[in-house]
Chains A and B, each alone.
Chain A
Amino acid sequence: MSNNHVYIALQNNEEARAIIEAIERDNPNASVNHFPAMVKIDGDGRIEVRRKTVEELIGRDWDPQEIHLHLVSISGNVDEDEDVFAVQRNN
């Protein structure tokens, strides 16, 4: 069962929409899957959410910690600082 799968699941709401769009821009290989009330983004090895991209999309300052308002679930190791929120595999 060797794989490097990671995912981020977000609520399907207006604020999360911009985050999802930012993920799509910055992670061209991630796939976006829609579920009832939830969007699950699957990736291989690493998915990241960049502060700059989200800020461009929403037109205001955005702190990566705000992602916690909309997160439903994750799989992978978290790497969070002031510019990026990422989940990744470490091997």
Chain B
Amino acid sequence: MQIDIKTNNVRPIRQTFAHVARRLGTDKPASRYQEATLDLQAETNFHYRPLWDPDHELFDPARTAIRMQDWYAFKDPRQYYYGTWTIARARQQDSMERNFSFVEKRALLDNLSAAWRDRVAGVMIPLRHVEYAANLNNTFITAYGYGTAFTQTTSFAAMDHLGIAQYLSRIGLLLDGNSGEALDAAKQAWMADPAWQPLRELVEEMLTIRDWFELYVAQSYALDGLLYPLIYQRFDNALSASGGSAVAMLTEFMVDWFAENCRCVDAFLKTAASESDANRKQLSHWARNWSARAAKALKPVADKALGEDAVAVMAELQTELQTRGARQCGLEI
């Protein structure tokens, strides 16, 4: 057969790129994740110091207190590169579109009591602003972080947070029949309601953190690590118990996303922590500090969401996060 002769004759002269082969230890076929990730960021012979930061190179490992021998020690357990990430999200978006359409056509949110409806609007919708800040923070890490293995994951997370901010906005528009009233009210609460001010203050402060790895701990470990279980597990459960299970259809993405993103965050923190005692101490300090502050800032939101259960739930969530930090991330909590 023609094809056999062709393949016999036409043999590859190598299996992968040389920089990938050096990391694999041998020239063998590499995965698309590896070829799309390893050594992609320039590390040397930069031409000009940035006008916006003349003390550093364009990409500079000294922009964080964390030290790594090799910034490609970080491995995303999901092995996301652009193609796999965007195809995965397109699939989830498809399913979310069906969920929104199902809830909208059957007017399922109308089944909520007025009190619960107000609670959904009052608790969930202002969170879109928190998600927007999370988008900016992940974009910051993508910009000034070090090594493609790390920064591509925050690039994806930045857009995931924007997507979540937009799903939350759509829930608001479902509640107010596209008038925008629910969104306006939520923004008003975000700006002025005393219950939201500690969180807004915290979020604005996080936007000024300049050590990108500290920002990663503050955002992806501490704030996400408390806010997502609070809203998309505990509050969702309370809602479902009160006839609001339709809302769970509209937050499916957030639930799945958090579970998935945690795998990556845990793996990254563990890799950095196991690199050195200095890293472990630094990361643990950041984790303790930002978890405590996030918990405090979220308390009034938990009160709104869960009423008298809030104190107990917040204590549980902090314990769960500590356990996760110690077991999954190798931190000293």
Direct contact of A and B (CB under 8 A): no
Which residues from chain B sit less than 8 Å from chain A, CB to CB? none
